[in-house]
Amino acid sequence: MSTNITLPAGAPEEVVTHALVRDIDLAAFGGKGSLALITLDNSLDHNRPNTFGPQSLSALDAAITDAIARKPEAIAVTGKPFIFAAGADLSALAFLNDHKQAMAIGKLGHDVFRRLGESKIPTFAFINGLALGGGLEVGLHCHYRTLSSTAFIALPEVFLGLVPGWGGATILPKLIGPERAVQVIMLNALNNNTMLKSKDALKLGVVDAVFDPADYLERSIAFAVGVLNGSTKIDRPDYSNDPAWETALATGKAAALKKYGGAEIASPTKALELIAAARKNDLGTGFDAEDKVLADLVMSDPLRSSLYAFNLIQKKRKKVEGAPKPALARKVAKVGVVGAGLMASQLALLLLRNLKCPVVMTDIDQERADKGVAWVKNELQKLVEKKRMSAESAARLALLISGSADQKTFANCDFIIEAIFEELSLKQELFKKLETIVSPECVLATNTSSLSVEAMTQGLKNPERVVGFHFFNPVAVMPLLEVARTSTTDDATTATAIAVGKELKKTMIICKDAPGFVVNRLLTRFMGEVTDAVDEGTPPAVADAAMMEIGFPMSPFQLLDLVGPGVALHVSETLHKNLGPRYRISPTMQRMVKDGVRNFYIKNEDGTYAPNPAAVALIEKGSSPSTAEQVRNRALKALAEEARSMLDEGVVSTPAEIDLCMLMGAGWPMHLGGILPYLDREGISEAVSGKRFHEKGVASLPDSK
């Protein structure tokens, strides 16, 4: 077969995964003859998992030829320590501009991997560690599979805007049936790429046996010997007449529509088509179909967008733009949390679980402080019940959390975060009091969402140790953390804040102390255009659904219900005061807050949602309705205008940071890439400001507009 594929111009050089062959004498395992063991290892880069580009596929192809020539009793494939293979090398995909070349890469993977499935010599995959995408597909082509008990496996392609295109979409439904295949290929991928633990992979039938890592290779070889001598039998049911096909496909479609707000997105749609075709297709026909679908997706803007978003997230998780040297960070051995309400309690739990140091909470009286501590301890117990934490670990952490009504308990804290009521005077008074208690080096952080951090430092002796530390709700789930520097925040404070954020496993951006920081400023402007349209007379259903067709998982009014009208109104009032009349204050929102109406939607008995009559009755009765397209255009233009202003003001230093914030803090859809590449592609950026945010070609095909 031809494995000579040249990467496109500009693509990064492939890190080659080598395939090394050695003979294993089966006599020591009670067998006869030998087993040819192929080990995948990109030994030149120990920090990077094995991946498959054209050269790596060629290396595996040569190794299979070598293994067959040795005339063994069996052939097995395994990986370097703790890593089997993380799938295709995606770094070159965004540089492809030829459909034939995309087809060739898909076909090359099939041609190499299928040699394992079509081999007359029994083949085994010894999946000794992480196996994702094409890495798992290598194993699926093999006749039998074992898995290390500590390994995780997944087919994340749909999450990335692709399909399992090297055999997974065809083989897996035949191997484990339609319901389980939809679970692995669709539902897990759409659920933020949930990976399978070993016990689940075994239960679903993806693998045939699970062994502990201590003697994993030896037991896997013994398993192979059992298969060869007939003492180990593996049943392979025929799922072609399984009555669950239609139900499974319907479940997958419903999940995709829910994930993308009712919009039909290419990758999940095509994945379902391939799963459905696997019922009757032979493997060759199925693989041909995968090649075409994969090439079509690779040559599409949604895939480029997903890759841009994915690579941006991975990069910014590791390195925070503009962060001071890590060596400047001070040690944090005790943490204080001011407040014991829900947000403060969530912060205390997160800090406790990740820093594993004493955490003390305070509130205006002991009863409230005790209530916050009790909430944290109850959440620890829930983690034990869900088997996400051992009872011993929970007990140790419970000893580290305490509560008090006396803020003097903060005296020896190294880091304090406040989460009290959003009123500037209260926060100013708090910081002045804390300054008389703590050391000059103790970092004072605020979780404010819209107030000026610099204003909180007025009158302080050490304003340089105050920093914005803005989390998103729910704290444990939302990955973004905005770190806001004032004009006086020093590098040691910022470095300490970044170090704490990394311990909390958050993705961070450093931004200027400006109203609303990044996410709330953009979201409030965006939501304001939608509520303005409703106040002007646009039917709520029309305005609220305006963005859904491009794949938003949540409508503006659903987001309003999540945030709460009170918080949303407070933020819009703050931004109106600081940034001017483009942040209009909705009379409908004012009435909802005044009358205590907390939700625009109410849940019906059947689980569906309907507009809350109490909220509908408070809507401003305007006489200038807009269409959905008009609402969408005005909202997107507002985003482009605000993003340009933020960059001009230096709120963040790069457009990519705005993209990251909207992806990680506002749920901007992965398939659209960052918000700014999307506005560029749609021509909105140039219409608003006369120029694009990114260079032409970012997150799009070279010939895109």
Question: Catalytic residue numbers?
Answer: 137, 157
User: Are 149 and 212 a contacting pair, CB within 8 Å?
Assistant: yes
In sequence order, the β-bridge partners of residue 75 are 36, 123
What ranges in 45-98 are assigned the alpha helix state H? 54-69
613 contact partners, CB below 8 Å, separation of at least 6: none
Q: What is d(CA 414, CA 502) in angstroms, rounded to the nearest whole number?
A: 16
Pairing of strands 130-132, 152-154: parallel
User: Are 338 and 420 a contacting pair, CB within 8 Å?
Assistant: yes
Give the distance from CA 109 to its chain's centroid.
27
N residues, the chain: 705
Q: What is d(CA 372, CA 378) in angstroms, rounded to the nearest whole number?
A: 10
Q: Is the peptide bond before 463 cis (omega within 30 degrees of 0)?
A: no
Q: What is d(CA 281, CA 289) in angstroms, rounded to the nearest whole number?
A: 10
Phi, psi dihedrals of residue 435, rounded to the nearest 5°: -65, -25
User: Are 620 and 592 a contacting pair, CB within 8 Å?
Assistant: no
User: Are 408 and 437 a contacting pair, CB within 8 Å?
Assistant: yes
State both tokens at 289.
Answer: 């179909």
Residue 62, judged by CB atoms within 10 A of its CB (0-12, 13-18, 19+), counts as: middle
Q: What is d(CA 189, CA 158) in angstroms, rounded to the nearest whole number?
A: 6
Three-state SS letters, 639-666: HHHHHHHHHHHCCCCCHHHHHHHHHHHC
Q: What is d(CA 198, CA 205) in angstroms, rounded to the nearest whole number?
A: 11
Closest CA to 89 of 130, 50, 61, 63: 50
Q: Which amino acid is at 696?
A: K
State both tokens at 546.
Answer: 């305006």
Q: What is d(CA 113, CA 313) in angstroms, rounded to the nearest whole number?
A: 30
DSSP 8-state symbol, 41: E
- Lookup result for tokens 């502990």: 212
In sequence order, the β-bridge partners of residue 402 are 360
In sequence order, the β-bridge partners of residue 469 are 483
SS3 of residue 85 by DSSP:
strand
Q: What is d(CA 71, CA 122) in angstroms, rounded to the nearest whole number?
A: 11
Q: What is d(CA 497, CA 500) in angstroms, rounded to the nearest whole number?
A: 5
Pairing of strands 480-485, 466-470: antiparallel
494 contact partners, CB below 8 Å, separation of at least 6: 323, 324, 467, 483, 485, 510
User: Are 364 and 409 a contacting pair, CB within 8 Å?
Assistant: no
State both tokens at 382.
Answer: 């829930």
193 HSE (CA, 13 A, CB side): 16
State both tokens at 184.
Answer: 């692995």
Q: Where are the beta strands (DSSP E) in 345-422?
A: 359-362, 401-404, 415-418
